[in-house]
């Protein structure tokens, strides 16, 4: 999936070193990403996590490439792919701190949502975030997803606490409005 600002391509094990070089042990990145896996402390740890992700059934992980620099700057994924239900989840998204802003994530979401609704017959996209991750929740709502509610004690976190997940969605009937909103954000 190629846009003007970013390109999404399948995540590879080699991307672990490239992303580690960009992000390192930044706690503000790894705090929110990882599905309960240990926080990576090296490129090798990140590679082990990528091995787990790449082989996960019902998921497709992508490297986010900055088109200007051609650097791998992050990752995102389709999760919980259920073709019979025409359902996709978008998640496991992170962008290197030095590349945040500049509408990279907005365009990545436009590419993914266009793929789901216009090429894969999707009718629903779920996007979840830790209820305490205010920045992610704002970003999710910025792209047009609607808050459906909070699921308490949804998952055990790395630190032993229980996560309350904020569930958002975009359904096919809302796609034209959400797409227009995303295109407007990218035009600014």
Give me the pLDDT at residue 161, please: 86
User: Cα angle vertex 134, ends 133, 137, to 5°?
Assistant: 90
pLDDT higher than 70, residue 122: yes
pLDDT higher than 80, residue 103: yes
Q: Do 8 and 67 meet the contact criterion of CB atoms below 8 Å apart?
A: no
Report the mean per-residue pLDDT for the chain: 93
For the chain, the structural domain boundaries read 6-187
Give me the pLDDT at residue 77, please: 97
What confidence category does residue 36 fall into, taking pLDDT thresholds of 50, 70 and 90?
A: low
For the stretch 157-185, pLDDT in tens is: 878 889 999 999 999 999 999 999 999 99
Whether the CA torsion 156, 160, 166, 170 is positive or negative: it is negative
What span, in angstroms and rounded, lies between the C-alpha atoms of 69 and 71? Answer: 5
Give me the pLDDT at residue 168, please: 97
In CATH terms, 6-187 corresponds, of 3.30.1280.10, 3.40.630.30, 3.30.1490.100, 3.40.50.300, to 3.40.630.30
Please report which helix (H) or strand (E) contains residue 170, including its range: strand 162-171
What span, in angstroms and rounded, lies between the C-alpha atoms of 155 and 64? Answer: 26
């Amino acid at each position: 999936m190629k846009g003007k600002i970013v390109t999404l391509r399948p995540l590879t094990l080699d991307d672990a070193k490239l992303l580690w070089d960009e992000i390192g042990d930044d706690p503000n990145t790894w705090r929110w990403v990882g599905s309960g896996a240990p926080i990576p402390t090296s490129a090798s740890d990140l590679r082990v996590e990528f091995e787990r992700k790449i082989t996960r059934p019902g998921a497709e992980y992508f490297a986010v490439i900055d088109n200007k620099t051609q650097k791998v700057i992050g990752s995102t994924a389709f999760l919980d792919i259920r073709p019979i239900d025409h359902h996709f989840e978008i998640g496991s998204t992170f962008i290197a701190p030095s590349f945040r802003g500049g509408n990279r994530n907005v365009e990545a979401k436009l590419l993914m949502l266009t793929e789901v609704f216009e090429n894969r017959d999707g009718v629903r996209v779920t996007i979840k975030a830790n209820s305490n991750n205010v920045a992610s929740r704002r970003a999710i709502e910025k792209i047009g997803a609607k808050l459906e509610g909070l699921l308490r004690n949804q998952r055990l976190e790395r630190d032993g606490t229980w996560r309350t997940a904020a569930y958002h969605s975009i359904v096919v009937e809302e796609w034209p409005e959400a797409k227009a909103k995303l295109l407007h954000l990218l035009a600014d």
